[in-house]
Amino acid sequence: MTPAPVIIAIDGRSGAGKTTLAVELAARLRMHHKVSLFHLEDIYPGWNGLAAGIERYVTTVLSPLRQGDAAEWVSWDWANHYDGRTHVTLPAEIVIVEGVGAAADTARPMLDAVIWVDAPDDDRKSRALVRDGSSYEPYWDTWAAQEDEWLDADDVLDNADIHVLNRADGHAPEDVLQALNYLPALSPVLAPELSARRGLQLRAERLDAAPCAAELFHTLYGESANAVWLDSSNAASDASAYANPEIANAAERSRFSILADDGGSFGQSVLHSWGATRLSAGCATVETTGPFFRWLDTVWGRKALRAPEGYECEFTLGWLGYLGYELKRETGGNDVHSTTPDAALLFAGRAAVIDHRDNVVWLLALEAPDADEWLELAQEAVHSAARTPAPEAGGRQDHPAGDPAVGQHGLVPEFASRDTEDEYKVKIGDAQAQITEGNTYEVCLTTTVSAVDPGLDPWQSYLALRRRNPAPFASYLRFGELVVASTSPERFLRMTSDGAMRAEPIKGTRARASDPGIDEALRWALENSVKDRAENIMIVDLLRNDLSHFAVPGSVTVSRLCAVESYATVHQMVSTIDARLRPGAPRAEAVAAAFPAGSMTGAPKISTMDILDELESGPRGVYSGAIGYFSLNAATDLAVVIRTLVMSPDGDGGRTLSLGVGGAITADSRPFEEYEEIRTKAFGVLSALGAEFPSP
């Protein structure tokens, strides 16, 4: 008897392409393993024998193989319609069993992984008849009826680990192999495949060009179902800004823009909700359960790639997207369900990175059969976007031709607030009561304004937002029907490849004024506000503690305290906390230790999140979470999700628009001023859509 093998079942209706997939998957696995392959069609006792064939397979094939024994079974003679010869299937390190019923309920306790293969009905029938010819055609309906009867009584689809939409384009085996790597039960035996996946080679091309970023994104990824643009929409137009000490911090945050989708050989996407992580790799989808940050630790945090010579951006391909606020359930908060995924990421195996300071575009691609084709296409797109007319005067706010006016074609959404003015002010009083009782020092109270989408174009809406309210951490995320359009000015956490950590919380906001004198007075008032400085300093102390969990002792410093930065619609008070990551520390856990951003909770964090769950009338969703990247060189840069429009499907074919807004409540807060602050924060987004803050 040999050790028990890893058994993978490939199931699905007839004609879905299971046999071809099984053969090609076995060929790939044989590069590192001994593999046995069994086809159920060899054992079905005739055209009416699906149920009997499943029983034979389970008892005479699967059961002995599960024990590490050779399986002796009798084949079916399809020509003579009777039992045929006796065969033996030997156990191996990996056994693949394939056919209708391979993952039936009686088989599943003996399987390590279940792959369900599907294809459109018309495609399945034509494929099956092409393969088996006229011998199958008279029995197609009979066999299909048996499949229907079996599936009506067996929940195999719900118990499949991997789902494959087989388009018969040759991609399924490689996509399935990628998906198998994410199953914890298979990861020990697939260690060679995992090592090969980590043995990545980076190709990079440097182009001297200053393209219109919006035009470039639209050209490269306008048709992509999943795409991310981390958009430094207020990048300095004058390179000298990066050397000016007064504005160098803000300029450096806006130096790079990253544009990517999940296309190509390595492309993947991930949605995480309520403890379930659903990963799609091409045509294959795999679902696993467990905490998100534990999953993140399995795919990120190790230095898999080096940056190319002369490349100064920390992003060297990897995961991009958002983490929603409700992931707080994993970091000390309560379990609250959101209507949007708790996290949405895509893996970019190729991307364009714009260096706004040096007027350079870097094209990055993992070595793959399709890398040459993409690099050539991307070069053409960069040169085309560089020929787009120069941006408007007043800054590097590049916009393509046809950039929309406020209120697209008269489509102006009508927003309603989750809390009326009076209700929000009552909650301010409740928060102050908690402060008086000593349960918290500061409560970042939020609310949501939402609207039925009147038919806005998400892309055009984002272009309007970035023109009205340019920001260093602006971003446009598209995950199918879910679109996130952010104009965030706030960094949550940066962690460089060599372990430098930085958080830059914002606390304290004033509206801008068109009159220079009044505007300067507003800035001065913010800079000298005792209340705003107190709010900011409390969050600085909280973040010093968050970073210290995984920092080198003594490395946590505050390099800027309560500095004022000015943006298109607001003045903001910003501080900078730096630290050095402890060597060998788990990077995903270091991110989790600081999540969610303290500037969006209050202090102390965990007890204040409990208070917020009581005060706020629903989940925050994407708002208050983080947007950014997790790079293959172990770096990350994440922004706080504020000033962000979320456009999400409503389940009835329409879309809902939502905008989260809030402010820090302290013992000294005045309800009228706090309510005016959330109106100020909402203005930059709502005004770009031609909308107004809801009336009381």
**Backbone Cα Rg of the chain:** 28
Contact 69, 39 (CB under 8 A): no
Q: In a 3-state reduction of DSSP, which class is residue 329? A: helix
Q: Which residue has the tokens 């983490």?
A: 323
Q: Report pLDDT for 134.
A: 65
- The separation between CA 125 and the C-alpha centre of its own chain, rounded to angstroms, equals 36
DSSP states along 542-609: HHHHHHHTTBPTT--EEEEEEEEEE-SSEEEEEEEEEEEBPTT--HHHHHHHHPSPGGGTEESHHHHH
Domains of the chain: 6-197 (3.40.50.300), 202-389+411-499+581-689 (3.60.120.10), 501-535+551-580 (no CATH)
Whole-number Å distance between alpha carbons of 416 and 467:
24
Tokens representing residue 186 in the block:
């298979």
Per-residue pLDDT, 401:
43
pLDDT for residue 400: 55
Q: What is the pLDDT of residue 397?
A: 45
The H or E element spanning position 459 is helix 458-468
Q: What gap in Å lies between CA 693 and CA 683, rounded to an integer? A: 7
**pLDDT at position 240:** 55
Dist CA 554 CA 569 (whole Å)? 38
Residue 198 is predicted with a pLDDT of: 65
Largest CA distance in the chain: 97
Report the 10 Å Cβ neighbour count for 527: 16
pLDDT at 634: 96
pLDDT for res 138: 82
Supply the pLDDT for residue 393: 34
Report residues of the chain scoring pLDDT below 70: 1-2, 131-134, 195-198, 236-250, 389-409
* Identity of the amino acid at 452: V
Which of 501, 563, 507, 554 minimizes the C-alpha distance to 532? 507
pLDDT at 406: 56
Which pLDDT score is estimated for 572?
A: 92
Distances (CA, A) of 517 to 319, 513, 522, 523, 681: 45, 9, 9, 10, 21
Residues with a known catalytic role: 490, 507
- Of the candidates 263, 285, 226, which has an alpha carbon nearest to the alpha carbon of residue 368? 263
User: Residue 684 and residue 570: Cα distance in Å, rounded?
Assistant: 9
134 CB-contact burial (10 Å; exposed 0-12 / middle 13-18 / buried 19+)? exposed
600-615 burial, b if ≥16 CB within 10 A, otherwise e? bbbbbbebbbebbeeb
| CA 355 vs CA 217, 237, 256, 267: distances in Å | 15, 12, 5, 24
